A and B are shown apart, each in its own frame.
Chain A
Amino acid sequence: MSATSPLSARVDGRSLPMQATREAGSLLVRWFDELRTDEPFTVLDLAGGMPETIALLSDYRCRVYCADLLDNLCVPPPGTDMAVAAAVFEDRLSFIGDGVIDYCLLWDYPNYLSFDQLRLFSRILQGYLHLGSQIHMFTAMHANQDMAPWRYSVADPETLVRRPVRRAMPGHPHSQAEIVDAMEYVRLDRGALRDGRVETLLECI
């Protein structure tokens, strides 16, 4: 269920609401059920530090690594040499330093990467994860699915907030099977249909 503002903007030929919209229901409930307020944990949020996510996580002892890979578009153009692409990904994640990520919010980012780029990105991301790290992302029901670009945040465990990304984003919708193929070190934990996307939880094995 979603509440959408009547205001809209056209991005890449699609009409998107200009304001943030809220959506009830989220697989993240499962994460927050496991979290304890006195047990520290780490989060990587590729949507950058969005207000709702940071406000919610302020209730916990945690370290949040925020990288906005949408505004500072971290998507190498098609045909980019893989070594160059790897250097770009590594550069954008290097601020994590010696950190180890427990919970990873990838949102739609994998769907902006080609399969080969995603495999490369996931390899570099793997260096910051541990056995049992949890990954949240969206996958596509089918390869031709129209996935309008959104920037997501978490208002509460049961509510996601999304804002339109006001720029055209490359589209490479990946199915759950493709994701598991590209990210060889994960297993599918759970999926739920949401707004044409499949909200997907993965666990590092």
Chain B
Amino acid sequence: MFDKKKNQQETPVNVASVTLRDSEPVRPAQAAMGGNQGARPAVIGTTIQVSGDIVGGENLLVEGRVEGAIRLEKHDLTIGNSGQAHANLTAKLVRIEGEVVGDVVGLEKVVIASSGRVRGNITAPRVIIEDGARFKGMIDMDFEGKGAEKPAGRDTRRGNSTVEDAVSRAVS
């Protein structure tokens, strides 16, 4: 009857690109975001929807919904508990507590918290998946980095069966 959510007005923001510059004042809970010298993150609140790319020079906490891409190469990105990102994400440290559908690049680290749900590919030198997190996709941990190459022959598939081949051979 008094469901606050029903009284909240969702605010869709349709933009081609948003550039973040100055932090808004944040609530205490939002200041818990780790990373860059304890800097308070900019916040996309729970009722905000953004369609388009976000590029920033500071930490960002997403509690709303973002469709597009987020790039914060030198800063930290948190997709909060109520956050939803159907987007490709790039940041120094990416922490996911909500839902992400898209590819995630963490230049230093990616953390999927226990409440996090990710469907997509992750690229980062270090990846932490907490107990209870849900993930479907590929994790690339410096696979393409400089240094020794994969031994010869490992890139050649043993079989190239089509589904039809597999069925016919399995039932034969």
Interface of B is mostly: loop
B148 interfacial contact with A, CB 8 Å: yes
Q: How large is the interface on A (under 10, 10 to 19, 20 to 34, 35 or more residues)?
A: 35 or more
- Say whether B143 contacts A40, CB under 8 Å: yes
A51-B129, A82-B171 known; A40+B150 contact, CB < 8 A: yes
B160 interfacial contact with A, CB 8 Å: yes
- Most A CB contacts (10 A, CB to CB) among B134, B166, B169, B171 go to B166
A61-B143, A99-B138 known; A49+B155 contact, CB < 8 A: no
On chain B, the residues within 8 Å of A49 by CB distance are 112, 129, 133, 135, 139
On chain A, the residues within 8 Å of B163 by CB distance are 83, 86-87, 90, 124
- Say whether B169 contacts A95, CB under 8 Å: no
On chain A, the residues within 8 Å of B127 by CB distance are 54, 58
- Say whether A126 contacts B158, CB under 8 Å: yes
A116 interfacial contact with B, CB 8 Å: yes
Per-residue B-contact encoding for A118-143, CB less than 8 Å = 1, 0 else = 01100110111111110000000000
Per-residue A-contact encoding for B134-166, CB less than 8 Å = 1, 0 else = 111111111111011111011111111101011
Q: Compute how far the CA of A51 lies from the CA of B114 in the bound complex, rounded to whole angstroms.
A: 10
B130 interfacial contact with A, CB 8 Å: yes
- Say whether B158 contacts A66, CB under 8 Å: no
Given A49-B133, A116-B170, output 8 extra A-B contacts at Cβ < 8 Å.
A54-B127, A61-B142, A63-B139, A66-B137, A66-B139, A100-B157, A130-B156, A132-B153
